[in-house]
Structure 1
Amino acid sequence: MRANTSLIGHILGSHPQINGYYEQHIGYYSWRSLIRQKLIYCNQHSLKVKSMFMFDKVLHNEHFVSPVLLNSANSKVLISIRRPETTIPSVINLYKKVDPTHIFCTVEGATDYYVKRLHYLADICKKLDSYYYYDAEQLRDDTAMCLSKIADYLGLTTALSSEFKTQILTGVGNAGDHSGNLNAAKVKKETTDYSDFDLTSIDINSLTKIYDDTVRGIKI
């Protein structure tokens, strides 16, 4: 969560070979879950002619994803993590807007989510035969290279573009980012400055070590 996932979702969802761009908030238990995903998407969208992928992003541990499905020859897995010093404030700011009573509005709550999510990603990567990892920051800092490598991993026949289409669920409900940044319909290099955000209630050095260890383990 808050790792530029709505941005990459819209970039992928604007490609002619990919259907889907938003978060469905469902789990993936068996092949039936893949049918469910397609039915949910087709309730409001049409499948693209000659498309080859259905996209979803799964951001929360409570949504189970079967490693068996992810290890299918027809599955592709993208994993991305953002640094804690920007992720924690971003989570807090989001939930203060959408649900001010949520535990994620606190530094402690957002930090607990972040740590548990990193542990989950580290664990599931050990069960996967193949996946592609990229640092969330790379999508903005080195867009062309990041998108080129993702396109190669997915085996797309044409390049991914830093410009994308806004969709009928862009910024709507719980489908993804509500900030309005996606309305620019392109990758924006500038990001929110969280340098003055008060993180003194947590040990940011320990949190950074967890991040570094997780990313190092996933990249192996």
Structure 2
Amino acid sequence: MRERLKGLLGGAARTLNPQCRFPRALFVLAHMRCGSTALSNILCSRPDISGYGEAHVRYDHPDALGRLVVNQIRRGAWTPQAHYLFDKILHDRHDLDPDPGFYDARAIFVAREPAAAIRSIRKLYAGLGRTDEYRSDVETARYYIDRLATLSGHWDRFAPGARVGLTHAALLADPDAALARIGTALGLTPPLENRYRSPAASQRGGGGDPTASGQFTRIEPATPDSQADRAIPLDIPDALRTEAETAYAAFEKMTGVDKVASPASTAQSGPVPSQYD
């Protein structure tokens, strides 16, 4: 009954609200624990972007953006005057077989080195006491590989001027350069700035990072050690680890991240701060 009511409200919102058109949507398409919460906070701190983080909307129908608005209203995160509606999508159940209009939106693709991402997902769920999900490195690696496969299927269906890809490492090494690249690629004006407020809605109920999101007001530069990340021990077969690493390398090549010159980072080397664990 509740889902039916949300569906009816979403349909009404789509009919009445001109925001509810896919060309006015902005998505972060990623997997868990890749820096997407901090990036979402930066985007959603702008007055021209309405949202807060992960809304858990399924994009299989033209009414999906109406459901997104209903969700934002319920969370106290709707900005009626904003040009863009925002959502962060981290799971295949929300975008595996989307409505064709989905590809008229703008999209930011983000991925992280597999071993570090898998370890971080496991740490998050263990810390939350949610031991019924992502119970093993194998299960988590499978999620990671499947998710990158879905992202790969999406990439070419977005217009070249409406998509951009980046990695967790690039976002940390030089946040300003990464944000400038996003803004230029997607035609966002004024330019993105490395500062944000962390909305309460992004810290509860699956909206974002419930552990560290509220402790920061910007993306703090850091220098991940990619070599160390690749050496993180995982309890998975070698073949599965190779599959995950191959998927990540394919993501870098597909999005052109492998051709972007690495900026000289001013961040101190060492352990990555808890903002990005």
Normalising by the smaller structure, the TM-score range is 0.7 to 0.9
Pick from 245, 254, 260: which aligns with 1:208?
A: 245
Question: Could you tell me how far apart the structure 2 residues matched to 1:96 and 1:9 are?
Answer: 24
Question: Could you tell me how far apart the structure 2 residues matched to 1:27 and 1:59 are?
Answer: 11
| CA 171–159 in structure 1, closer or farther in 2 if over 3 Å, else same | same
Aligned amino acid, residue 189 of structure 2: T
Are 1:177 and 2:209 matched, yes or no?
Answer: yes
| CA 76–108 in structure 1, closer or farther in 2 if over 3 Å, else same | same
Are 1:105 and 2:142 matched, yes or no?
Answer: no
CA displacement, residues 28-70 of structure 1 (integer Å, 9 cap, x when unaligned): 1232111111121022326446421010011001113526223
Question: Could you tell me how far apart the structure 2 residues matched to 1:212 and 1:197 are?
Answer: 17
- Give the match for residue 254 of structure 2: 217
CA displacement, residues 160-187 of structure 1 (integer Å, 9 cap, x when unaligned): 1211012122321211112224421111
SS state at 2:189 partner = coil
Pick from 137, 148, 173: which aligns with 1:118?
A: 148
Question: Could you tell me how far apart the structure 1 residues matched to 2:113 and 2:71 are?
Answer: 32
Pick from 153, 159, 168: which aligns with 1:129?
A: 159
Question: Could you tell me how far apart the structure 1 residues matched to 2:102 and 2:168 are?
Answer: 21
CA displacement, residues 65-117 of structure 1 (integer Å, 9 cap, x when unaligned): 52622332xx2111111111210101111111224423413111110100111
Question: Could you tell me how far apart the structure 2 residues matched to 1:167 and 1:183 are?
Answer: 11
- TM value normalised by structure 1: 0.87
In the alignment, structure 1 segments of 5+ residues that lack a partner are none
CA contact (8 A) 2:112 2:168 kept: yes
CA contact (8 A) 2:165 2:256 kept: yes
Question: Could you tell me how far apart the structure 2 residues matched to 1:67 and 1:215 are?
Answer: 26
- Give the match for residue 76 of structure 1: 106
In the alignment, structure 2 segments of 5+ residues that lack a partner are 1-31, 258-277
- Greater helix fraction, Structure 1 or Structure 2: 2
For the aligned residues, what is the CA RMSD? 2.4
Question: Could you tell me how far apart the structure 1 residues matched to 2:77 and 2:202 are?
Answer: 16
Measure how far apart 1:217 and its partner are: 2.8
Question: Could you tell me how far apart the structure 1 residues matched to 2:223 and 2:132 are?
Answer: 24
CA contact (8 A) 1:171 1:177 kept: yes
Question: Could you tell me how far apart the structure 1 residues matched to 2:203 and 2:52 are?
Answer: 11
| CA 22–192 in structure 1, closer or farther in 2 if over 3 Å, else same | same
SS state at 2:183 partner = helix
| CA 15–55 in structure 1, closer or farther in 2 if over 3 Å, else same | same
CA contact (8 A) 2:111 2:168 kept: yes
Measure how far apart 1:154 and its partner are: 3.1
Instruction: Please say which of residues 165-174 and 98-107 is displaced more in the overlay.
Output: 98-107
Question: Could you tell me how far apart the structure 2 residues matched to 1:96 and 1:198 are?
Answer: 17
Pick from 52, 58, 63: which aligns with 2:94?
A: 63
Aligned amino acid, residue 138 of structure 1: A
Larger radius of gyration: 2
